[in-house]
């Protein structure tokens, strides 16, 4: 018999190291599926598409913390900012600028993560390590009163090569530690390292992830 949602949820939670946040990735999932997981106690959910987030959020309990984990275009920032708890995929100055502007309009201070490109594939978004250093050192953070960089996000290569995935996660963890220690970012906690999905959450946590984004292992194949 296929495991129930409750059984899959228990199994995923059993694989979490202490202090690691579980974001349930609910893109393409129905309201009923999301509600069922909410009823089991889950509060952090992740969505990839602005339109889908906009439709779903108002119909669901307002103590859900919505994580925007997709690639965000500037034209969609205004739709995401009012509902998002954390925006994971910030990878350009102009995007950060737009988020600050829209957060100001919404009367909020919004937490963001900078996305770093760690995978071999060309398709994944994100800053190179050099661009990350530039972002931390040179983006006009002091002028952005409605934005708080809280950490980094990355996606490993989609490969069977576990050593490669491990190396990519360890590389991101090193960057994270360097930035956090250098204290060049604006004052405030730099404490979130978003890495790990259904297929590689264990490797990500072993490398020091503080937040995993898990869809398939909870809800089944999309
Ligand atoms: C879809 C998605 C996930 C979840 O992937 P699963 O393999 O279903 O766990 C995590 N992170 C991002 C950025 C995603 O787009």
- pLDDT at residue 95, as a whole number: 98
Cβ–ligand 1 contact at 215 (below 6 Å): yes
Contact 180, 198 (CB under 8 A): no
- pLDDT at residue 145, as a whole number: 95
φ, ψ for residue 85 (rounded to 5)?
A: -90, -40
Q: Which pLDDT tens digit goes with each residue over 119-169?
A: 987 766 899 999 999 999 999 999 999 999 999 999 999 999 999 999 999
For residue 212, how far is its CA from the centre of ligand 1 (angstroms)? Answer: 9
Question: How is residue 212 annotated by DSSP?
Answer: E
For residue 75, how far is its CA from the centre of ligand 1 (angstroms)? Answer: 23
- pLDDT at residue 184, as a whole number: 61
Pocket test for ligand 1, best of 69, 87, 197 (most atoms within 8 A of CB): 197
For residue 57, how far is its CA from the centre of ligand 1 (angstroms)? Answer: 19
Alpha-carbon distance of 132 to 138, in angstroms, equals 10
Cβ–ligand 1 contact at 211 (below 6 Å): no
pTM (predicted TM-score) = 0.96
Cβ–ligand 1 contact at 99 (below 6 Å): no
Cβ–ligand 1 contact at 48 (below 6 Å): yes
User: How many CB atoms are located within 10 Å of the residue 205 CB?
Assistant: 19
Protein residue whose Cα sits closest to atom 13 of ligand 1: 69
- pLDDT at residue 183, as a whole number: 66
If you count them, how many residues does the chain have? Answer: 222
For residue 159, how far is its CA from the centre of ligand 1 (angstroms)? Answer: 14
Q: Which atom of ligand 1 is nearest to the CA of 197?
A: 9
Instruction: Report in angstroms the alpha-carbon separations of 2 from 5, 6, 7, 8.
Output: 9, 11, 10, 10
pLDDT beneath 70: ranges in the chain: 123-124, 183-187
Quickly name the fold that domain 19-216 has.
Answer: TIM Barrel (3.20.20)
Domain locations in the chain as residue ranges: 19-216
- pLDDT at residue 120, as a whole number: 86
């Amino acid at each position: 018999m296929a495991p129930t949602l409750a059984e899959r949820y228990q199994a995923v939670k059993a694989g979490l190291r202490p202090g690691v946040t579980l974001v349930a990735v609910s893109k393409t999932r129905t309201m009923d599926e999301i509600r069922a997981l909410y009823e089991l106690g889950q509060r952090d959910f992740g969505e990839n598409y602005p339109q889908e987030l906009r439709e779903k959020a108002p119909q669901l309990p307002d103590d859900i913390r919505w994580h925007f984990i997709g690639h965000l275009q500037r034209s969609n920032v205004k739709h995401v900012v009012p509902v998002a708890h954390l925006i994971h995929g910030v990878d350009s100055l102009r995007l950060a600028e737009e988020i600050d502007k829209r957060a100001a309009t919404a009367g909020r201070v919004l937490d963001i993560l900078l996305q770093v490109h760690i995978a071999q594939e060309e398709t994944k978004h994100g800053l190179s390590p050099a661009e990350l250093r530039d972002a931390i050192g040179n983006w006009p953070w002091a002028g952005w009163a409605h934005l708080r960089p809280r950490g980094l996000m990355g996606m490993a290569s989609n490969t069977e090569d576990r050593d490669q995935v491990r190396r990519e996660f360890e590389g991101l963890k090193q960057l994270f530690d360097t930035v956090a220690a250098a204290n060049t970012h604006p004052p405030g906690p730099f404490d979130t390292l978003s890495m790990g999905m259904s297929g590689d959450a264990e490797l990500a946590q072993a490398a020091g992830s503080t937040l995993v984004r898990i869809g398939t292992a909870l809800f089944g194949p999309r």
